[in-house]
Chain A
Amino acid sequence: MSLLDFGPIASFLGRGEASITVPTLDGAFRPNDFLETADLFGDYAGADTIVVADGQLLLSAGCEVLQIGPNASKVIATFDADITALCADGPVIAVGLASGGVSIVGGPHDRSHIDAVKGKPLTCPTALLLEGDSLTITEGSDRTTPTHWSRDLLERNVCGRVVRVDLSSGQQEVLASKVAYANGLVKTPAGDVVISQSWHHCLSPITDLSKTGSSCHNLPGYPSRISAAGDGGYWLAIFGVRTQLIEFVLREDQYRKRMLDTIAPEHWIAPSLVSQTNFLAPLQQGSVKKLGVLKPWAPPRSYGLVVKLDSDFRPLFSLHSRVGGLRHGVTSAVELDGVLYVVSKGAGQVIAVDLASVQREIVQ
C-alpha cells in the first residue's frame, strides 16, 4: 500500500481502493452444478430461512413459519409481516420481521416483541441466536429494511449492529456496531460469536470486525446465514456473487446516486436474488446469448452458492447453481442427517443435497 492507493490518484489510476478486482471462482469456489441438479425438496414461495429444531426442519416463508417434511408441511405460526430472521431453541421460536422488531413464540416469553434496542429501533433483523433467555440479534443496517438490502449495498452503508437481549431481565447490550450488513451469525464451540458482514465479503468474530478478522475473508460473493455442519465445520450461504461491474459502480458515486434516484430498484446494477430475464434489467457483454446459449461463466447478476467451511472458517468446497440456472439467491442452508437443506430464495425452493454423494464427487 502506498499513497497512490488512496483518494483521487487511486481513482484516476484505478488502483488501491479504486481497484475493482474480484476473486475468481476457483479453488474452494470452483464451480459445479450440485445445487442445480440436486433434488427439489419443495416449492415455498418467499422461503428465506431454514433451521433445525428438535430434529425437525423449520422454514420461514413469507409471513409464516412452517414445519416442513418430505410429505407434508404445517404452519406453526403466522405473523403480520414477512419474516426476515428465524431461530428456534426447543419449542421456542424467535423471528425477525420486515416491519421491524423481533417476536417470540412459545415458552415463558410467548408473544413478547422487541421493538428497539438501546433506544434505537430494530429495523433490519437478519439473523437470530436464542439460547435459553439470551437472544443475540444481527441487524443489517439502521437505514433500510431487509427487503431493501440492495439499496443499503449501493449506498455503501456500514451501519449494522449485533445486539444481545436478555428476555427475562430485559437487559440489552450492543455487542458490535458499524457492521457492514451483519447477515448471519453462529456460535463456535469455544463460545465466540462469528457474524457475516455481507458488504465486506467476510466472516468476523464480533471482537474483530476488520475485513480480515477471520480466515474467511475476501469472498467472491456476499455472505449470509451461517450454520454448523455435522463434522464441526460450517455451512455458509452466499446470496449473490460480486462482479467487476458492481464493484465499479460502487466506486462511481455520481452514477450510483443518479441510478438510485431515477431508476426502479429491480433495474439497478446490483446483485439480484432471482435468476430473471426481464428485458429492462442491465445486461453485461458476456451475458449476450451466443448461438442460443447463455454461457454459464457469464457475469452473474444472480447466482446460487453454498460454501463448506472447516472449523476454522476456511473454505473447503462449494455447491453452485451457475448462470442460466434457476436456484439462485441462496439465503440459508442447514444440515440434518447427512442431507443439506438449501433455501433458494430466488427460486422459492428448498433443495435437498445428499452430502454423501457430494463428498464422493468432490473428493475425486
Chain B
Amino acid sequence: MSFANTLTRVRYKYFPDHLVGELLSKRWMESAVPMIILVATFTYLALNLPHYLSPINLMDMGRLYAEFGLIVLGMGLVMIGGGVDLSIGSMFALSNIAMLAFINMFGWPLWVAIPAVLLVGATLGALNGFLIGYLKLRAFLTTLVTLIIYRSLFDIILLNFAVEISGGFLDSEAWDFIGDGDIFGLPSGFIVFAIIAFVAHILLSRTRPGWHVMAIGGARRSAHNAGIAVKRTVFLTYVISGVLTALSAVFFAARLGSAGSDTGVGMEVSVLTAAVLGGISLGGGRGSVAKAIMGAAIVLLITNGMIRMGMQGGTSSLALGLILIFAVGIDVKWIKNRHKIISKVYVSPTYLKLPDAPSAAAGSGTAYEANNALKDVSLIGLGTIEGPEDVILDRNDNLFTGTRHGDIVRFSGPDFKTQETFAHIGGHPLGMAFDPDGNLLVCVGGMGLYGVKPGGEVYKLTDETTRTWNSVNDDSRLRLADDLDVTPDGQVYFSEATIRYEMHSWPLDSLEGRGNGRIICHDLNNGKTHTVIRNLVFPNGICTAFDGKSILFAETWRCRISRYWLDGPKRGTVEPVIPNLPGYPDNINRASDGNYWLALVGMRTPSFDLAMTMPSFRRKMARRVAPDEWLFPNINSGCVVKFNEAGEILDVLWDISGENHPMITSMREHKGDLFLGGISNNRIGRYHLKDADPDWVSSDSYWGKKS
C-alpha cells in the first residue's frame, strides 16, 4: 500500500494535471489543432517533394495563396456573420472575365479597370446581400441559385466574346507587376493579401462593425434586440465577400491572362473547407482572420501538394470532400460539447497526505477537546445579515461585517442593536482590517483589495498583482482575495485562496487540494502590488505578529499555521507554527493577552482525509456525483482556538450542538468580548471572555492608543 501511495504521490507531484483543463479553456487552443495540421502538412511536403523550399516554388505558392486566401477571408467574414456564400466561384469567374474584357476589349486603363472590376464584384455580392440580408432568404439556397445564375452569365459572355476577351494583350509594366512582380522577394499579390488580412483582423477584433458581425453570427435575435443593424451588416458582409473575390480575380487575370470555361468551378468547396478547417464555425459567431489564413494555407498545401505528387484530379477533390466532412463534424461536436469537456477536465485533484489528526473528541483529554462553551453566546443581527465572514470593531465600539449582498454593515455599539449599511461594494466582503488612518481595508471575493473611508466612501486598492510568466491561466487578476492584515510600515499582506476558481466555486478547490493559492503584498505607501508566496494550499487567515516582524498565515486544506518572516535573520523564510490541526483553519486575529485567536471553520473527517490521498477517487467523484452529493470537509462544526507564538494550544471554545455557530470563519476580541462570524451563517455571536482585558481594542494593539 505504501509503495502504491508513493507512486501516486510522485505521479501527482510531477504531472501537471491542472494544465490540461486550463489549456483547453483557452480560446486560442481551438487554433492549435489547425496550426499543427498546417505545420505537419508543410513539413511532409517539404521532405517529400523536390525543390519544395526553393525560392521560385515558394514565390509561386505565395501568388496562389494570395488569390485563394482573399476569397477565404471573404467567405470567413460571411460565415462569422452567420451566413455562407456558395457563389464565390461564379463571382470569381465573372470578375475575371470582366477584368479581361475591360482591358482587352474596351482598352480601359488599369486605374479605371481595376476599380470597375471591384465594383462588379461588389454588385454581385450586393445582390446576394440584398436577397439574404434585406429579404431574409436562406443563405445556402440563395447563394446556390446565384452560383448558377452567375455561372450561366459567365458562360454566355464567354460563348460570345471569347476571342475578343482573350485575344488582346495588354502591354503594361504595372499589369505585369500585379501578375508577376515582387517587392523584397515577396509576390505583389501576397503583400496586398497580407495588408488586407491585417486590416481585416483589426476590423473584426477591434472595431465596432467587426463586433457587430460577430454578435449577429452568435445570436441574430439578440443582436437585433441590442440595436445592431442586422440587415445592413449582413448585406455588407456579402458585398465585402464580392469585392475580395473580385480582387482575387484581378490577380488571377494578371497572372494567367485567360478565361477558361472551368475558371472557378468547384471553388466553393475548397474555400468552405479552408474556412471550416481553420476553425470558423458553420454556425456563425466564431472565427477569426487568423483561422481563415490558416485554413487557406492548409487546403492550398494539400491540393497543390497532391497535384504535384502526381495524383489525379478526382483524388484531390475526394480528399477535400472528406476533409470538409471531417472538419464540419469536429466543428459541430466541439462547439456542442466544449463546456462539458472542459468542466470534466478542469477539476484536477492532487495527492495530499495529512498527518494523522489530533483527537478533538469530548473526553479525549487533548488540547482541542470538544466543549460547549459557546452555547450561551448572545446574538447580533440574527436573520438580518447573511454571510458575515469576518467581523471587526473600531475604537468607538462600532461593529463592521460583510454580507453576501456585497454590503458592509455597521452595528453601533455598545448594544449593537442599530444596524445600517455602511458601504456597498458589490462583491462579498471577506477579511477586514483597519489601516493607521482608520480606513477599513477589505478583501472582496471576486474583486480584490478595497478600502472604505470612515465616511463610507469605497476606493480600490488593487485588483491585480504581477503575472507569473509560466502560468497558463492569467493569474494577474485577483479571483478570491480572502483575508488581510497590515504591518507597522504600511504593507498590506493578503491571501488569495485560489487562482483556479471563482468565488462561488471555491468548494472545487477543496476537492483539488493543490497549492493553488498565494499571499500578496500591497504597499500602501506607493500603491505597488507583488506576490510574496506562491503555491499555498488555500491560504486563508493572516495576522501580523505582535512585534510586527512576521506574519502568521493559515492554509485551510493543509490544516496548518505557518509564519513568514518579514524581518530579522530568517527574513523571507516560512516556518511552521502549528503543523497539524484537527480542523480547517480560517481567520487568525490577535488576543488581548498577547496570543492569537484562530477559527477552525470545520473539522477533519477520516473519510475526507483518506479521499485526499486518492486523487483519482476525487476526480471521478467530481465527474460522476452531483455537486450537492460530494464528499466535503465537515464544515458543519467548528471551534475557536487560542494559541501562543510558539504554536501551543491554550484554549478552545466549541459550539458542539451547532445551534448558533456550526461553522466559524472569524472571531475578533474587543473589550472583553469575542465576536464570532461565519460565512454561511445569518448571525454574529458575542461571547464574554472572563479573564480578558476589558479595555483592549484591536486598533490600539496595532496603531497605539488614540484619544
Contacts and interface: CB of A to CB of B under 8 A. Distances in A.
Contacts of B682: 291-292
B465 interface: no
Contacts of A262: 606, 610
B631 A288 contact: no
A287 B610 CA distance: 20
Contacts of A298: 628
Contacts of B636: 277, 279, 283, 287-289, 294
Interface stretch (B160-168, B171-179, B478-486, B657-665): B657-665
A116 B350 CA distance: 50
A33 B627 CA distance: 26
Interface stretch (A44-52, A175-183, A250-258): A250-258
B359 to A, nearest CB: 9
A252 B610 CA distance: 13
Interface of A: 14, 20, 243-245, 248, 252, 254-255, 258-259, 262-264, 267-269, 277, 279-292, 294, 298-299
Given A255-B614, A277-B637, A291-B680, A286 B631 contact: no
A267 B635 CA distance: 15
A332 B372 CA distance: 35
Contact of B629 (A245, A277, A290): A245
16 contacts: A14-B624, A244-B625, A245-B621, A252-B617, A255-B617, A259-B610, A267-B606, A280-B606, A282-B634, A283-B602, A284-B628, A284-B629, A286-B628, A288-B680, A289-B681, A292-B660
B585 to A, nearest CB: 15
A279 B635 CA distance: 9
Given A284-B629, A285-B629, A292-B683, 13 more contacts: A243-B629, A244-B629, A252-B617, A252-B620, A258-B1, A259-B607, A267-B606, A267-B607, A281-B605, A282-B607, A285-B630, A294-B636, A298-B628
B614 A289 contact: no
Contacts of A264: 606
B633 interface: yes
A175 B132 CA distance: 77
B632 interface: yes
A291 B681 contact: yes
A250 to B, nearest CB: 12
Nearest to B616: A254
B361 interface: yes
A291 B383 CA distance: 8
B507 interface: yes
Which of the listed residues A20, A277, A288, A299 has the most CB atoms from chain B within 10 Å of its own CB? A288
A232 to B, nearest CB: 38
Contacts of B354: none
Interface string B593-625: 000000000110111101100100100110111
Contacts of A277: 636-637, 657-658
A253 to B, nearest CB: 10
B370 interface: yes
Nearest to B507: A285
B629 A255 contact: no
B607 A268 contact: yes
The 9 closest A-B pairs by CB, nearest first: A286-B628, A279-B637, A291-B682, A283-B634, A244-B629, A282-B607, A279-B603, A263-B606, A285-B632
Given A254-B614, A281-B605, A244 B626 contact: yes
Contact of B605 (A243, A255, A267): A267
B634 A279 contact: yes
Nearest to B359: A280
Which of the listed residues A269, A280, A282, A290 has the most CB atoms from chain B within 10 Å of its own CB? A280
Given A244-B629, A277-B637, A292-B681, A263 B621 contact: no
A272 to B, nearest CB: 12
B496 interface: no
Which of the listed residues A281, A292, A298 has the most CB atoms from chain B within 10 Å of its own CB? A292
Given A255-B611, A290-B680, A279 B632 contact: no
Contact of A299 (B386, B507, B629, B681): B629
Interface in B664-707: 680-683
A299 B607 contact: no
A269 B614 CA distance: 15
Contacts of A289: 636, 658, 662-663, 680-681
A282 to B, nearest CB: 4
Contacts of B1: 258
Nearest to B658: A277
Say which size band chain B's interface belongs to.
Answer: 35 or more
B337 to A, nearest CB: 14
B602 to A, nearest CB: 8
Contacts of A299: 628-629
Contact of B627 (A255, A285, A287): A285
Contacts of A280: 361, 603, 605-606, 634
A258 B625 CA distance: 20
B388 to A, nearest CB: 11
A259 B609 CA distance: 10
B145 to A, nearest CB: 45
A26 to B, nearest CB: 16
A245 B631 contact: yes
A280 B658 CA distance: 14
B562 to A, nearest CB: 24
B386 A245 contact: no
Contact of B610 (A263, A281, A285): A263
Contact of A269 (B624, B628, B631): B631
A20 B626 CA distance: 10
A255 B624 CA distance: 15
A14 B495 CA distance: 38
A20 B605 contact: no
Contact of B635 (A244, A252, A259, A288): A288
Contacts of A291: 386, 680-682
A279 B633 CA distance: 10
B632 A284 contact: yes
Nearest to A19: B624
Nearest to A11: B620
A279 B608 contact: no
A299 B636 CA distance: 14
A308 to B, nearest CB: 28
B628 A285 contact: yes
Nearest to B611: A255
A150 B602 CA distance: 26
Contacts of A243: 629
B607 A284 contact: no
Which of the listed residues A245, A290, A299 has the most CB atoms from chain B within 10 Å of its own CB? A245
A20 B632 contact: no
Contacts of B617: 252, 254-255
B634 A281 contact: yes
A350 to B, nearest CB: 26
Nearest to B614: A255
B158 to A, nearest CB: 58
A263 B611 CA distance: 12
Nearest to A255: B617
A287 B680 CA distance: 12
Nearest to B361: A280
A279 B682 CA distance: 21
Given A277-B637, A288-B635, A282 B605 contact: yes
Contacts of B626: 244
Nearest to B1: A258
Interface string B622-655: 0111111111111111000000000000000000
Given A255-B610, A292-B660, A248 B628 contact: no
A285 B508 CA distance: 11
Given A20-B624, A289-B658, A283 B610 contact: no
Contacts of A254: 614, 617
A279 B370 contact: yes
A20 B361 contact: no
Contacts of B610: 255, 258-259, 262-263
Nearest to A287: B636
Contacts of A294: 636
